[in-house]
Structure 1
């Protein structure tokens, strides 16, 4: 991980639907002074229709979406934050083919905490019924992956501050 005094990071705020990726990602980008994008905006209409109908995306559906996200990261070499589920190591590997120094902030929470958060998001295209498939698909960050795991059962400011504190501490080690 880079310190805040070095080159701004290329970050992916990851986790299951309802973990707060978009809200935390936007707040983190603002704190770091870098652009923010929401990966939901990169989905082709067919993916949104499939999820709205209650069907989980498969790897074929995700491939062009992940390519578009990776290209966004590559265009933001001077720093950027994007929210993206990035549930599998293979998906994160695909993003790193475009932007090798990408690091991940995994927003982790129990099913109960995430379900409660999802219930407060009426009208989102990812129905709560797909939460189990998200947890089933989730692969934790591997040892080879740059990133942090942060508990989502706290407010947004506390999550952002925890990220900053941990990056500063890591840069002094």
Structure 2
């Protein structure tokens, strides 16, 4: 059986971490967060308070891809949390060994701001709102050639996990059929 990699994407505060925990609990897949896989140069820029551009994040995308491949070679399927906002990063992730499936946890800015308010007990400050705006500007929706699903961030993690796993089952079967016909 080919290892499966579920890559969770979405803006900050969309609920990716809660969904990752639910998916790991249900599947037993190995998990990681983008922060755990973050290269030193990206960490340094973020620590300095600067916005990390898509180009700045390329080493991060390659680090995630390499981790996915390493896990696949060990026979492990994975769940990884990543912003993965742009097609360029997702193309890099798809170079990993195994079947890469994207779950885009999506919400409007109002929904995400309310999620952050509930989680942290206070409204996001101006700096956080600016980061969200930059992330939304960078966000590229999944395209037809990218196996994945877009889910509503306002739904509970259990509901999102149900939808993600059902979509994964369909996409994985289609991928297997395509692979057999080549």
TM-score range, shorter chain: 0.7 to 0.9
Q: Which runs of 5+ in 2 are unaligned?
A: 122-126, 175-182
- Shift in Å, 1:99: 3.3
Q: Secondary structure at the match of 2:55?
A: helix
2:41 & 2:171 partners in 1: Cα distance? 42
Structure 1 residues 7 and 99: CA distance shift in structure 2, 3 A = closer
Contact 2:147–2:171 (CA<8 Å) still a contact in 1?
Answer: no
Which of 27, 36, 50 is the equivalent residue of 2:31? 36
Q: Which residue of 2 aligns with 1:162?
A: 163
1:47 aligns with 2:42: yes
Q: Which residue of 1 aligns with 2:136?
A: 135
Q: Which residue of 2 aligns with 1:79?
A: 77
- Shift in Å, 1:7: 4.6
Q: Secondary structure at the match of 1:135?
A: helix
1:127 & 1:42 partners in 2: Cα distance? 22
Contact 1:54–1:129 (CA<8 Å) still a contact in 2?
Answer: no
Q: Which runs of 5+ in 1 are unaligned?
A: 1-5
2:98 & 2:172 partners in 1: Cα distance? 19
RMSD of aligned Cα (Å): 2.6
- Shift in Å, 1:164: 2.6
2:39 & 2:173 partners in 1: Cα distance? 42
* TM-score (structure 2 length as normaliser): 0.79
2:54 & 2:153 partners in 1: Cα distance? 26
Q: Which residue of 1 aligns with 2:94?
A: 96
Higher deviation after alignment, 94-103 or 154-163 = 94-103
- Per-residue CA deviation, residues 144-167 of structure 1 (Å, 9 max, x unaligned), is 100011111111111112223334
Structure 1 residues 170 and 75: CA distance shift in structure 2, 3 A = closer
Contact 1:118–1:128 (CA<8 Å) still a contact in 2?
Answer: no
1:61 aligns with 2:56: yes
- Paired residues in the alignment total 166
